[in-house]
Amino acid sequence: MIKAMLVVGARPNFMKAASLVRAIQDDPNFDLALIHTGQHYDDKMSHIFFQELGLPKPDVDLGVGSASHTEQTARVMLALEPEIIARQPNLVIVVGDVNSTLATGLVASKHMIRLAHVEAGLRSFDRTMPEEINRIVTDALSDYLLTPSPDADENLKREGVAAEKIFFVGNVMIDTLLRFKQIALGLETWTRFNLQPWAYSLVTLHRPANVDSAAQLHDLVDALVDIARQMPVVFPIHPRTRANLIRFGLLDAMANAGIILTEPLGYLEFQSLMSQARVVLTDSGGIQEETTVLGIHCLTLRENTERPITVTQGTNRLVGLTRARIVATFHAVLSQDHASPRMPNRWDGHASERIVKILRDSIG
């Protein structure tokens, strides 16, 4: 029996873990404990995702809450270690690149427990991003590096990771997307905002580099205001972003421009809205992948991406952070036909099953 511990902590983790938990639970060779660190802890960022995605109630919620990157990482380590000692797993699984991922990897390695990293090998090559540090360190500690795309394999090999530790399994985020696609579509969330399919844009912003600087956020808001003159814009606002929009006096400008401002949406509502958007503008990593599979034009409001396959094989464009470039690319996209769904290799809804087989065959 493989005593596995899967640790999640933030919104992106829940979506990636949902299909993996299901696949593990379907395999009698695994005894799974699900640990929630509480990095994201309120209903809109955490609990609703457990309900919608059918995730079981966590065996324990560490309740670490929000803090600086350093303090949050330390809190997770201190709270998780007693659980590791008490439960004595022989495998710890982490997903993604949030602070909980890094903290869990450090604790598991200190206790000499095998570590599996789902979504390993992604690199933006920008170490000013906290997630990049989390990815690099977690991969260096991991025994099983489960990658979503061939470029991730190449990144790991270039860093000296032994080939026998690297497993190209596909994309667990897409497992969940495909499993819930029809349910989400049936919600017709666009009607809640009096919108028509393919006739609106959808925006998400949350990265500190984009929303913590008054000048940078002002430029992005100006771009969104310009876009709102062309078509309706829906903006579910991340709590951090909302706080800064208020602090910098920018919230009213968007409301006055007719931008539809809403609280964060649940997974199914957001997927429904995204599935019928003409264009999505985002600084999220996962949305770059989801729009590729859904066939939605995606403008990534960053200078780099750790998911280059969404640019080379998908529907994603890196547009940077300047108002002029964002608006110009938006107009260029509008002049084109709808994008077509793209399915990179092994983005087929079965990545979780491949992961379970690899871990079972290697450990069991």
- Start-end of H helices in 55-192: 69-87, 99-110, 130-141, 150-158, 172-187
Do 4 and 224 contact (CB within 8 A), yes or no? no
- Catalytic residue, chosen from 69, 206, 218, 350, is 206
Contacts of 222 (CB under 8 A, 6+ apart): 323
CA distance 86 to 94: 19
DSSP string covering 171-198: -HHHHHHHHHHHHHHHH-GGGGGT--TT
Count Cα atoms within 13 angstroms, Cβ side, for 166. Answer: 23
Helix axes 172-187, 351-363, angle to 10 degrees: 150
CB count, 10 Å around CB of 1? 9
DSSP bridge partners of 317: 299
Catalytic residue flag (residue 206) = yes
Q: What is the 3-state secondary structure (H, E, C) of 274-333?
A: HHCCCEEEECCCHHHHHHHHHCCEEEECCCCCCCCHHHHCCCEEECCCCHHHHHHHHHHH
Tokens of 182: 């029809």
Of 200, 229, 202, nearest in space to 327 by CA: 229
Kindly list the catalytic residues: 206
